[in-house]
Structure 1
Amino acid sequence: MDGAPAELVRDALADGDPLPGGTGFAGELDGALVRDVLGRRPVFSEADEPGAWSFDPTTLRAPTPVPAGHVRTEDGDRRVWTLPDPEPTAGLEAQRSVTDAVVDSATAVDPDGLAVAFSGGVDSALVAAGVPDAPLYVAGFEGSHDVAAARDAADETGRELTVVELSHDDLRRVVPEIVAATGRSNPMDVGIALPLYLVAERAAADGHGRLAVGQGADELFGGYAKVVSPGSDHRVEADTVRGARRETVLTLPDQLERDVLALRAAGVEPVAPFLRDSVVEAALRLPGDRIATGDERKVALRAAATDLVPESVRTADKKAVQYGTYVSRELDRLARRAGFKRRMENHVGRYIESLLE
């Protein structure tokens, strides 16, 4: 069992408890495969042979992921846990719960062999605050938003920062490795995984076996623009902030599968403090105005960061990693240079496929 003792998972199955404590789990238990409700740790079996399974899909002929919250047996998949949808708690009480859970989770991280993926935003700054002696790493092309923000934030906090300066050769080399590890070749997944992979690769080369990441913060705490005004945003079906936030949380299993597989392929084990059950449970009880407003996103998370990170970092806007690092821009540039023009349908995707040949 990856991520939790077998007895905890047995108890969670018996009680139907989707958040039994810890940071997620996956693996074989009593002859069945199980995966936690948020899919924080992926597990796969052969499409035609559920008894043949692995945490690494590259070792299987036709790997099929176990869905989050399910048990897989020879009879098929059965949902056993559903993400809770509790009524919101009053604002101040909800904020205290989030602050306590976030701080406790961040400071509980074992610093041994740990590095931090650091982009200079509030998410990674909170993670870094919990492990004050861990080195920080950021990847990006020269002049990118993430590199500049990370340098400024590291200077303000007096932390050691390693900048992994990206090149076109890095992208050409790593794209096939990411596709092989994750089984995904679409430009969005590749663009997100690339900077994570390259940070992890450098951290591993420097002797760090674990990488702390801020995964889950945007989904749980309302970091996306589409959560702010859901009634007028076609990207979500919900018409409330809490409903839209739930939609984004339910995308986590698919995202985490990609991220975990990419990071492991690069040589590190991911550590995600925001995905601890206690943090998830507290975040799910937030009222809408503690999630996002027209003036501020991740309201409760930013409040939890008060006195822990510099004010300029606590309030800073953050770009999505594929844009903040310029990876998407440079993939587009490489595609066009290789003859895949923008007028062509899916020109970056076609370029990625050409790198696999």
Structure 2
Amino acid sequence: MDGTVLSLSDVEKIVKTDPGQIRRFGGEFAFSFGSCHARDHFGIVRGPGQKGAVVCNGQVRCSIEPAPAPCTLDEAIVTAVRIRSGEGVTALSGGVDSSLVAALAGRECVAVGLKGSHDLEQARHAADLLGLTCTEVEITQEEIADALPAVIAAIPKKDPVNTSIAVTQYFIARWAGEHGHRRILAGQGADELFGGYARYLASPALEEDLARDVAGLEAQADRDQAVAALHGTYLSMPYLDIRVVRAARAIPAHEKVHDGQRKIPLREVAGRHIPQELAVYGKKAMQYGSGVWGVLKKLARKNGYKTSVQDYINHIGRVEHGH
């Protein structure tokens, strides 16, 4: 709240003495008290009740509208990471998004991928440049096959892209849970807020595309948190801090993507905190860089679905439901 990290006892005291203060809560949270439920402004944490509201007996009592003081994008990102860095581990892939979070958090990192995969090699390089400890978790085709039923059962949208991303998150969360970490700091949201996808370069309506993709971040968070919950963990997303979102939305789309460059404002901030090599690095998407997408296609072919990964996913879902 206002840049201050509240302890559980702080929240309990506010709930008992001045529950109206909950409307100013920022960060990521979901909790219940009496017959009421409260969830954060963007709905990053799963829980009962609607996002951004205090709901009591099924009725919205008040909206949660944090109003932090205006700040620069740099200040917003630094603050967002600081208030989330008291515990946990950082998911590192070596791109600008996760490298900036990792550098500012200064916590232990974890990287996941198949042996020899792009993400493992780049995360190792990034951790070396940043002077951080990074555990490399090598996953195998067999482990991915074993994880698929649980992943597909957990995620809301069961298509190839969401499944391959969720499988990668599954192994990050598994390692974190096994090593006593509940919070996983992650770089989600940066691509949508700052224009990171290659398709933005050719977009004839960039402002509209970015707005649509930002609106889809809640569904992405739901997917990622569902998988993380399988291992008793959750993803903490500094780029979806209200300070960062507001600062990002104030930047015109043409300043985020132009002249063949993407995520320009974020890279400018990153260049002040991490080596320039990492600030300008263009990384593959998680499902490709980890090698998971290639394995998913291979497993589909191996199980008789040569032309459709979606059919393979549907098959696993039917088996899990006893059909």
Report the TM-score, using the length of structure 1 for normalisation: 0.75
Measure, in 1, the Cα distance between the counterparts of 2:27 and 2:109. Answer: 22
Does residue 22 (structure 1) correspond to residue 26 (structure 2)? The answer is yes
Residue in 2 aligned with 1:122?
96
Change (3 A) 1:9 1:40: farther
Residue in 2 aligned with 1:340?
305
Deviation, 1:77, is 8.4
Deviation, 1:205, is 1.6
The worse-fitting range, judged by mean Cα deviation, of 176-185 and 306-315 is: 176-185
Verify the 8 A CA contact 2:25 2:65 in the aligned structure 1: no
Higher helix share: 2
Deviation, 1:295, is 2.0
Measure, in 1, the Cα distance between the counterparts of 2:298 and 2:211. Answer: 35
Deviation, 1:75, is 7.0
Residue in 2 aligned with 1:157?
130
The worse-fitting range, judged by mean Cα deviation, of 219-228 and 178-187 is: 178-187
Change (3 A) 1:150 1:340: same
Residue in 2 aligned with 1:318?
283
**RMSD across aligned positions (CA):** 3.2
Verify the 8 A CA contact 2:54 2:64 in the aligned structure 1: no
Deviation, 1:269, is 3.0
Residue in 1 aligned with 2:145?
172
Verify the 8 A CA contact 1:291 1:298 in the aligned structure 2: yes
Measure, in 2, the Cα distance between the counterparts of 1:324 and 1:9. Answer: 45
* Secondary structure class of the residue paired with 2:72: helix
Measure, in 2, the Cα distance between the counterparts of 1:192 and 1:9. Answer: 38
* Secondary structure class of the residue paired with 2:184: strand
Measure, in 2, the Cα distance between the counterparts of 1:328 and 1:287. Answer: 33
Measure, in 2, the Cα distance between the counterparts of 1:292 and 1:12. Answer: 37
Deviation, 1:83, is 12
Which amino acid is the alignment partner of residue 124 of structure 1? S
Change (3 A) 1:188 1:355: farther
Which amino acid is the alignment partner of residue 243 of structure 2? S
| Alignment deviations for residues 4-57 of structure 1 (CA, whole Å, 9 cap, x no partner) | 9466984576xxxxxx4521443446745454442211224xxxxxxxxxxxxx
Change (3 A) 1:147 1:351: farther
Verify the 8 A CA contact 2:296 2:309 in the aligned structure 1: no
Deviation, 1:334, is 0.7
Does residue 131 (structure 1) correspond to residue 86 (structure 2)? The answer is no
Does residue 193 (structure 1) correspond to residue 157 (structure 2)? The answer is no
| Alignment deviations for residues 174-223 of structure 1 (CA, whole Å, 9 cap, x no partner) | 11222333355332222111111101211222232321111121122221
Paired residue for 1:42, among 41, 46, 64?
46
Percent sequence identity over matched residues?
30
Change (3 A) 1:110 1:70: closer
Verify the 8 A CA contact 1:340 1:351 in the aligned structure 2: no
Verify the 8 A CA contact 2:26 2:66 in the aligned structure 1: no
Report the TM-score, using the length of structure 2 for normalisation: 0.82
Residue in 1 aligned with 2:252?
287
Verify the 8 A CA contact 2:90 2:102 in the aligned structure 1: yes
Measure, in 1, the Cα distance between the counterparts of 2:158 and 2:66. Answer: 29
* Secondary structure class of the residue paired with 1:266: coil
Measure, in 1, the Cα distance between the counterparts of 2:259 and 2:33. Answer: 46
Measure, in 2, the Cα distance between the counterparts of 1:290 and 1:204. Answer: 39
Residue in 2 aligned with 1:89?
none
Does residue 220 (structure 1) correspond to residue 184 (structure 2)? The answer is no
Alignment of 1:1-357 (within 5 A): 5=11, 10=20, 20=24, 22-28=26-32, 31=35, 33-44=37-48, 66=49, 68-69=51-52, 97-112=72-87, 114-132=88-106, 134-231=107-204, 239=205, 241-342=206-307, 344=308, 346-353=310-317, 356=320
Change (3 A) 1:183 1:283: closer
| Alignment deviations for residues 134-189 of structure 1 (CA, whole Å, 9 cap, x no partner) | 22111111232211211111222232221111111211221122233335533222
Which amino acid is the alignment partner of residue 181 of structure 1? A
| Alignment deviations for residues 255-279 of structure 1 (CA, whole Å, 9 cap, x no partner) | 1011112112123232222122111
Measure, in 2, the Cα distance between the counterparts of 1:230 and 1:74. Answer: 45
* Secondary structure class of the residue paired with 1:162: strand
| Alignment deviations for residues 99-120 of structure 1 (CA, whole Å, 9 cap, x no partner) | 11112222333333x2110000
Is there any run of 5+ residues in structure 1 with no aligned partner, and where? 14-19, 45-65, 85-93, 232-238
* Secondary structure class of the residue paired with 2:111: strand
Verify the 8 A CA contact 1:226 1:244 in the aligned structure 2: no
Measure, in 2, the Cα distance between the counterparts of 1:178 and 1:99. Answer: 36
Residue in 2 aligned with 1:49?
none
Measure, in 2, the Cα distance between the counterparts of 1:9 and 1:328. Answer: 46
* Secondary structure class of the residue paired with 1:165: strand
Change (3 A) 1:296 1:252: same
Verify the 8 A CA contact 1:39 1:69 in the aligned structure 2: yes
